[in-house]
Structure 1
Amino acid sequence: MAAEVLTRVLPSPVRRARALLMRAAALYDAPGSPLAREARSAWPGGFRGGAAWMAGAMSHVRGQPVRAVLPGAQALGLLKYASALLAAVGAWGMAVFLGLPHAVGLLLAVPAFYAVEVQGLFLFPLALDGAARPWRSARSLLREAGGTAGAMGTVLVLAAVMVFGGLAGRGLVRCWCLGCLAVVLWYEELKA
């Protein structure tokens, strides 16, 4: 009963993130699920390993194979996160240039990072599905997900779980994978 009341009072992006994370945890932690075992060997491979894990997660969700090799995974990941990092550094630098305290600059850096990062929210699932233009397709799917502002709220919650969930003792790799799996589930919902 309390969970139902809480779900009604939470803002929509938080509700979406909570629902996605609950579904992701149920899949990840299910007896016999290969996701945890595969995650332990995937993370050292960088974006290539992450893409391979995500392909396995997509296969698990769909119940059918997904292309497991994404030759450009490193380049996609580096471009996506370098752009987001550049936006964050730019926001912090602008705040410092304007004479604002460094703390304000750091507070501005977080939304700047995620405003750019969310543009490629569905980039890896689309690339794994063989999208001819994954960046363009990712932007199109982002519009269906509520646009930059609409998706950012959900992404910020997912990111908080991915980063701080591990620090809170819930398992860094597990929490990271739950966030990635939540994105896969969201992607599958939008595609349906």
Structure 2
Amino acid sequence: MGQRSRKRGQRSGAVAPPAAASQTDASAAPAAPGTEPAAEPARPSRTELRNAEARAALVPLADGERPGAVTAGALVSTVLGVLVVVGYASGARVGGEGSLAGALFLAGIFLVAGYGMWRVRYWAVLGFEALLAFQIVVASLSLMVASNVWAALLCVAVIVLGGWLFWKLIRAMARIQMPERRPAR
């Protein structure tokens, strides 16, 4: 009593469910005890069909090809890396504090991501997208506490432009990691 099993026939002494009364197919052989009848293969959903169409439309990158979004991401990352160093050197600090090691670390991350994206490396695009997502979240939270119109406009610009670049890099990532298509034999 009180014992339940998710699978039929798991419990000792379990009674098999009664056969369907409307079974009229005489050719159907009864299933062996403890086995389920074979089910028809499930039809793919509309989402799966659209995903398959999108994958079929992707074309692998040619040798030396760099998608425009990846080039833009590489330039943005490199500029941000340089701006971090310039900002620290000019005395700009967040909350009045900041360390040279922290500025150089952040600049190094941006510059390595920029170099990796220039070389069309998947890991660099993925890492830069993670940084973009973080920046979009920070800009969204900053928008809630913006003290003037210029601060609000800057936050909205970061959200819109960062979101657009993020979206464009997704398709580029799919093409970067895509293996070469081989002709069917």
Q: Which of the five TM-score ranges fits, normalised by the shorter chain?
A: under 0.3
Higher Cα Rg: structure 1 or 2? 2
User: Which is helix-richer, 1 or 2?
Assistant: 1
Q: Higher relative CO (CA 8 A, sep ≥ 6), structure 1 or 2?
A: 1
